Amino acid sequence: MSNERVRCLIIGSGPAGYTAAIYTGRANLSPVLYEGIQPGGQLTTTTEVENFPGYPEGIGGTELMDDLRKQAERFGVEIRTGIATAADLSKSPYKITIDNEKVIEADTLIISTGATAKYLGLEDEKKYAGMGVSACATCDGFFYRKKIVAVVGGGDTACEEATYLASLASKVYLVVRKNYLRASKIMQERILNNPKIEVLFEHNVAGLYGENGVEGVHLVKKLGQPDEERYDVPIDGFFLAIGHKPNSDIFKPYLDTDETGYILTEGATPRTKVPGVFAAGDVADPHYRQAITAAASGCKAAIEAERYLTEHSL
């Protein structure tokens, strides 16, 4: 395995990774960024971004990420294709293995590997990606004003998404696999008292249908029971709210994470418990998961990395 030493290594190419790259590039830290499993991050699966400041008419998700990438390259950031497959954060310089074949030794490391939305695993979810299927109500809810949508899930996140969508859509179906909600009592009350939300207990999603995007959902009530019932419900949008999985597995032996796998940082900073290692964006954010908050945390991580290198004369 070949080794290479860098002052600042950034893993991940979403808003957090690219913003960290812009700041570290401008600070002459000669950063190297590996794009990871999904170049451009989750935003490349979104058609239109309307809530990122500075774009009054909105902008395509892929176009926004291309702009951030060009801005990073302008400041001399070396952007490479590759996936981090192993990590050794036991001592500095920290060792990150790329594609199981190359080891990068880094004086500072910015982890911005993001989180992956959990899907039901239906073929139709891929078929209608960006055409009515979404895993972010805050990102895409606006497009469903006065329309009919379905949300899948029974926890707090699903209830929050359904409540948010009910403020925009004309009707929200909350599809719940079990015969009860797992959400907190206050969230349950909000759902059950909202006239726009209809909870479909003991329902599973069998698929979606539509010509030029989602037009309806195939539902199964009481799956596998003698009184099983199958029927279709017309909808315009289908929202997944069954959780996210942070892409943090290779770092878990060295960093503290919560029970889901989100990397824990010190207070409002991106500092992890390992000096010189910082976490930015969705991999450390179970609460907001927005492009703008990810970008802000990438900025913080870059400033922290610069200070660390200066303090340690690296």
Domain termination residue (choose one: 192, 225, 240):
240
Residues 236, 126 share a domain: yes
In sequence order, what are the residues at sequence separation of 6 or more whose Cβ sits closer than 8 angstroms to the Cβ of residue 193? Answer: none
Residues 137, 69 share a domain: no
**240: phi then psi, degrees, rounded to nearest 5:** -90, 130
**Cα–Cα distance, 132 to 151 (Å, whole number):** 12
**Cα–Cα distance, 116 to 108 (Å, whole number):** 25
Beta pairing, strands 102-111 & 94-98: antiparallel
Q: At what angle do helices 291-311 and 15-26 cross, to 10 degrees?
A: 40
- Please give the residue range of the domain that contains residue 202: 119-240
Tens digit of pLDDT per residue, the chain (314 long)?
A: 678 999 999 999 999 999 999 999 999 999 999 998 888 888 877 668 888 999 999 998 889 999 999 999 999 999 999 999 999 999 999 999 999 999 999 999 999 999 988 999 999 999 999 899 999 898 899 999 999 999 999 998 899 899 999 999 999 999 999 999 999 999 999 999 999 999 999 999 999 999 999 999 999 999 999 999 999 999 999 999 998 899 999 999 999 999 999 999 999 999 999 999 999 999 999 988 899 999 999 999 999 999 999 999 98
Residues 258, 224 share a domain: no
pLDDT given at position 139? 84
Number of domains present in the structure of the chain: 2
Residues 289, 259 share a domain: yes
Residues 124, 73 share a domain: no
Question: What CATH number corresponds to the domain at position 62?
Answer: 3.50.50.60
Residues 123, 227 share a domain: yes
> Which residue blocks in 31-74 are alpha helix, DSSP H?
61-74
Residues 225, 161 share a domain: yes
Cross-strand pairs, 80: 34
CB 1, CB 105: distance < 8 Å: no
Report pTM.
0.82
Residues 193, 52 share a domain: no
Residues 158, 61 share a domain: no
pLDDT given at position 47? 67
Q: Of the candidates 110, 161, 83, which has an alpha carbon nearest to the alpha carbon of residue 280?
A: 110
Domain termination residue (choose one: 225, 240, 255):
240
Kindly calculate the radius of gyration of the chain based on its CA atoms and give it in whole angstroms.
21
Residues 250, 101 share a domain: yes
**111: phi then psi, degrees, rounded to nearest 5:** -95, 115
Residues 129, 85 share a domain: no
**How crowded is the C-beta side of 121, counted as CA atoms within 13 Å?**
1
Q: At what angle do helices 185-192 and 156-166 cross, to 10 degrees?
A: 30
Q: Of the candidates 206, 3, 215, which has an alpha carbon nearest to the alpha carbon of residue 105?
A: 3
**How crowded is the C-beta side of 220, counted as CA atoms within 13 Å?**
11
Active site residues: 136, 139-140
Residues 236, 167 share a domain: yes
Domain termination residue (choose one: 207, 240, 273):
240
